Structure 1
Amino acid sequence: MGYSIIFNDRSVGDDLNNYFIDDESKSLLYFPNSNKINIIVGANNSGKSMFMRSFMCSDIVGIDINKFEEYNTALLKAMVYIPRNINNLLDVLEFEKDVADKVKNNLDVINGIRHNLPVEKYDDFINANANLIKEFKNVKRYYIPTLRTAHSLFKLNNSVYQKIENDIFLETLTNYYKLDKKKVDVFTGIHLYKEILNSRNSKREIRESFEKFENFIGRYFFDNKKIDIVAEFNKDESLAGNNNLENICVHIEGEKDRDLFRLGDGIQAIIILMYKIFMAEDNSLIFIDEPELNLHPGMQRLFLEQITNNDDLKKKNLTYIITTHSNHFLDLTIEKDDVSIYSFTPKKTKNVEKQFSIKNVNRGNNKLLKELGVNNSSVFMANCSIWVEGISDRNYIKAFLKSYCDSTKKSYPKEDIDFAFFEYAGSNIDHYIFDDKAEKDDVEVILKDINSLAISNRIFLLADSDASEEDISKAIRLKGLQDAENDNFIPKIIWNVREIENLLTNEMWKAILIEFCNKKLVKSHEKDIFLKIEEALAEVKYSDYAKKYVGEFLEEIRNKMGKISSTFILNQSTYEVKSDGSFGTIINKRELSELVFNQNFSWEVLSENKEIETLTTEIYDFITQKN
């Protein structure tokens, strides 16, 4: 989304006046740095839900904060050329409720006296004006509250169960919170039966959206089988006055039909959430209170991955505003680029109405997550765990597993259900493996702790050999870890390479090395650079550097590729250059791992390295308990 939201209208009451950005003295004027997914966190009674309800019912406008200063600068430069009697009609922008009107007025004035402006000044202003404002007047808004269910509701009347026709959840919410139903489509799930009935009998585009929803449910909950979700209806009984008939049924290809009310609470919960999202109009705002309700951590991951990565949903260009108490849900956002997190806390005030402070936490700032206790919260709720040093190892393993499963037509294990990752960097196990000062007592304590943990959660621990050939004490510790293997604890030491990055083959480097080249040279000489990468990799083999730092491999590639216009093509800043002139590891390990993950390498390419093939099959067999 990339906009800061300005609240134009406080007609929903004065609730927004009780919110403050950080330590600002003025009450909330705008909601900063909004993204495709905006997650609001905070303790109970920290103002999250009240803020969301005010947000969804307010008139809002978005301003691209990155273009805001550029706009004002272009306007001031243009104003120099405008007659004095016109100047008072032009406004330098500030974050305030009528900013959209000022932008429109400024554009009208500038266009009206365009002949007074040098062409370049006019063009600068028009460029800065473009896409500065995002209007939300005609954008559909959907709200999924905590008060929700997948069931129709019934009451007992003279020994007969009769359906409650009214959406009493919606009526309750409207009574308490005065929701503006003209602005917001509130979905409690109570009328899910009618919605499904209407969706299956509506115009083509709505039916297609519903089919995509069915495909999603079939893929993730019914082994990728073709399913039909049907609102069953008996016309004759209905005409006879029997309204105790509503039933949602899942017809599964080759299997017995399933009634929705007989499915698990988790599947019902995900159906409520995903149905409305799949059926939402394009470009809509989706407000969700605590999506984690009744969802296992694996289901929470599935939900987040769908709203970020599902191709059908991405085409809809939806924006999500979500409140959550789930540590696990927050843990997952560390991996995402299109997520903004907002921490809500009560302000300490005296003799005034309760007030709240909002902090925006940018990607890469994990301080808030640590304060909230977010730390691999699903590890011991999954069937087993894969312990890796950090997120880069995690990305490699996921890339390898996905490619292996695609190639062999095997089902990809469900993360946080079948397995969960645990990043041990910074924990005692990291200290034990990598710290030269680790004592013998540390070793015994760590191994004892691992064995205790493995009783309730099978553990596969991955560690690379790093400098073990130069560091005898580290080699001994790794050997001790390996000797501690038992049925529930499988330590995998990659002895044949220095780091996991050394597993990358020439074919893999060929696809990603362009990302580490000089951007200006790539822009003007892209084809030549691809050719030079190919030629350099024909002379330098990754396997010759298995026990060396990746930087040594890349330095050799850099020299082979050479220069264009006296500038080296490959950036040396990609890897460590030590004071003694030697070369170390890759600097941004995460970036490299994400490049590998996003390339979706075929198993044919990956399995060229037998180390990758062995490691991947061992992990897959461990997860699926084929040991």
Structure 2
Amino acid sequence: MLIKELQLKGWRSYSEEGISLKNLNKINLLIGPNNIGKSNLLKYLLSLRTIFPEGNDSWEEKDMSFFRINEEDRWLYNTQTVEFKVKLEGLPEHSFINRNQDEVKLQVSHNLKGKNSEFSMIEPTHLNEIKATIFWRHFVSNHIRFIGDVRGFFYDTAGNLDVHIDGKKILEYLLKKVDGEEDWIRNYEDKMSKWLKDILLEEQLVFEFIPDTHHPDFSITIIRGVEKEQIKLRPRQLGTGVAHLVLILTTLHACSHRKINIFLEEPEMNLHPHSVNTLTRIFKEDFPNHRFFIFTHSNVWLDQIDKEYSVYNFFKKEDGSTNCLNCTESRDYYPIFENLGIKPSQLLLSNFNIWIEGPSDRIYLNQWIKEYSKGSLIEGKHYSFIMYGGTNLSHYDLVFDNVINILSTGYNAAIICDSDLSKKRDTIKERVQKLKDRIAEKELEDYVMLWITEGREIENYIVKELFEQIFRTEFGKSYFKYKNKRVNLYFVEEGIGEVFEANFSYDDFFVKIYQFDKNEVRTQFKDYIKSEYDFENIISDLEKKRQGVLKDISKVEIAKAIVSKWNVTPNNMIYDLNQRMVQLVNKIEIANR
């Protein structure tokens, strides 16, 4: 029986509103910061195992209502009831359910006041409490497996490897298989040899179970080199990661004949990203009966997201309770972002995402955040940038529609857009207005900061004198070529006399600082000038060349030069920059509490 959806309320950090996991898939990733409450789900299921031990296949009637939970396990010691609901699919033939029934919905309520538990079946409703409890027992005992990290391994006093998996010693389990089930053991060894060979990138590898009654163990023989040298090792000699792989794969193979819900805590521990990728493929291809619930902090799992994945992002609400957002709907949009160089892990693992149009925006914002937070906020730790602009953005509206869908499943973000105002247009572009409307439609204003620049673009927040200074000292352009001749450029020492207004284009405005001498041009190109009309045409061509001078200079390099010389204070902020930075830094700080 596979879990199709579940809901848990009133348990530990889960309030009376609780958490809900729906649209479960082949691989389900549970993500979120440390100590956020992800593992409380696991701890609840483990508490059920205390009354429903593993491997109980009996459908015998027995009253289990005496099950108790500890009072300290309830939400803030306030709730009187802990409630767990689960919808199951893929039902076993030998059950109380009609064979035409595709799924069932179970519920258990633990009443702290009455000190009892009621196991029931919500759909269908024809089972009495005792039979419903038996169904519960069969589900918990036979269709849930827990695989911890490598700490599931330990060594006895003789130094032999012993493994506990979900309360069962796997070595003892394998010893029983040896007696009369040689074919099963041979198949197991062949499978393990293939899996480990692929994961460890070995050309030849042989895995064996050593059925010593007193000291059972595993061995791995690696065959390398032209001489086919054999290196025989025990898993512990190959490192913690290999021992962990043996633990995981042996457990999965031992229950591969059943529909099992597999709960794994950080299976990526001690594994190389290639090993995690290969392990994922093995999960999908070789264990069709299993549904995986993976508690992880790893970007490697997230960056493999496809149609067989669901993602659940756990976060803490203002009252301290744990909630989770179902990111499944957004999964379909990840390929679009992959084309823009954005990985799913960037969207889901960062505490705060800042969506920007280009790399120069990142340089300015990093400097401003540093100044306004007094250096306490650090990129990569407290916030991350995601770039949505550039020539890749051929379907701008489509991408922003999908950005909204992403934001709906993971709050704590800011989107920074150039208004692109100009002398010909005094209102924001249609695509930016659409984004603003979509945020309002999804009621995301309280979570997502939309910053539309008051000026044309982010460069309009920079004071004119600073631009003139860095162009004079660091980006002096001395000439360009025209008709194979060198046309000299001269820097306007007194600066540009005009005001750098909000709707001016940065490129078009500051290129005025570079000028050429018309008299010098007339002398240089006298062979091409037969009339004043020819001269005016040459001047027109040179003006077009001059207009492109700044486009030849990297905006990133200009931004680096600007921030190196700008002592950012509220006094030298223009337009709404001070107000916006206070707002942005405040949101980042809240997201990191």
Q: Would you call these one fold, judging by a TM-score over 0.5?
A: no
**Larger radius of gyration, structure 1 or 2?**
2
Higher helix share: 1
Q: Normalized against structure 1, the TM-score is what?
A: 0.38
Bigger strand share: 2
Report the TM-score, using the length of structure 2 for normalisation.
0.40
